[in-house]
Structure 1
Amino acid sequence: MVRTPYSSISSYSRVKILHLLQEQSGRTIQDLCEGTGLHANTVREHLQRLVDAGYVVHEREHRTTRGRPRVLYSAATGGAEASSPVAQERVRGAARRGDLMRRVLPQSAGRLTGAAAHQLDAVIEDLVEAGFEPEVDEDALTIDLSPCPHAQAQSAHLGTLCRVHLGVMQSVMTEAGGPLRVDGVAPTCDPTQCVVHLVRD
């Protein structure tokens, strides 16, 4: 039996929640219950894990009428409107570790420098935590995630899973700040194969 690596988005319930939030920001617990079929307490628990990991942010609703304001949840995008303090600290830590590695082992440095290198530092650390073994080609600007560790266990949901992971990769790169962004995945007939293409703005 192939075991899916544990991470904050290894649970398909959390993937579904994050997918809904990537599609539309400012959702309530009730919205997410209706979209997933999960009980409110289960949704709250999953949301807390996603917030703790830096993938989701929340805010109180601004009401102009009487009543208790609802909590609104959104996917962290890395932009000013949905930046997570947890994600900010994670990308800063990844940049520090990447710079240290490049100083200690100069031969490990690729051709990308500065902000672009820090974007890769952040996204590679995030992918490793999600159970991937990424191989980066800095000349071709690709990240090979093959074989996908989730392909077999989540084969019925690969489309959603891939969209969520691509969205997370882009949010991490945006949070890190720099010229690179995710362009998409190379088409393939093999669901275990995954090569992500990046572009420089």
Structure 2
Amino acid sequence: MTFGALAVASRRRVLDTLRTAGVPQDVLALARATGLHPNTVRFHLKVLIEAGYVIESRQASGGRGRPQAVYACAAPTTHEGGYALLAELLASMLDDAAGVEPARAAGARWQRAAGPAGVAPNAPGTLGEAAARATALFAELGFDPVRTPERDAARIELHACPFLDVARRHPGVVCGVHLGLLRGLVEGGPAGDGPSGGRAAADGRSGGPVGASGAARTFAAELVPFARPGVCIAEIRKVVPEREGA
């Protein structure tokens, strides 16, 4: 399945409505339940079908004419379930054995692997560019990011997490991977060991930033898991160089 298909809040609302209904729904029923225009519902259904989250079938209406199209959630595949189990096992092993530092390194490696082979990503030149990169990546991965610009920082609220079930049980590992990914993206290099490099709260509640990069970088990245119910926060901030002799 393509997690990026869930990057839009109204699209997730359509999918959640289908899950709650438990029986196939037509476009008009989904429009009434979600408050969306029928054309918007059709567009979201098309994306969800292509991503493998929804299936379309035909149902006799009881009158004349063609059977109407109805929609239902696709059953999870064995393939998808296997990946979920593997993610849980790997996160559990990292959590028990080593914790957050290898997870951050894995996230940075993930970010490097996503770019051209053998080419290190260039660090963004401005805070706006750094925030735009991070917002685009989180949207592609299905985190439903909402960016709030500030004077010396960019705050990105993440309203969805494709790895939520595993993250709730192993926040230090899963959120650590996401922090490493973020750092690699906005800093143009591997995740560093910053002065705030603590683990996320073990119980998944808001426990302060997972970490921040060193002061030698132009930008520092932090991630606050479960800052409030259903929302994590990524922050990118300009680093002010320390004066010599200060």
For the superposition of Structure 1 and Structure 2, which TM-score range results when normalised by the shorter chain?
A: 0.3 to 0.5
Q: Which has the higher contact order (CA 8 A, sep 6+)?
A: 1
Greater CA radius of gyration, 1 or 2? 2
TM-score (norm 1): 0.45
TM-score (norm 2): 0.38
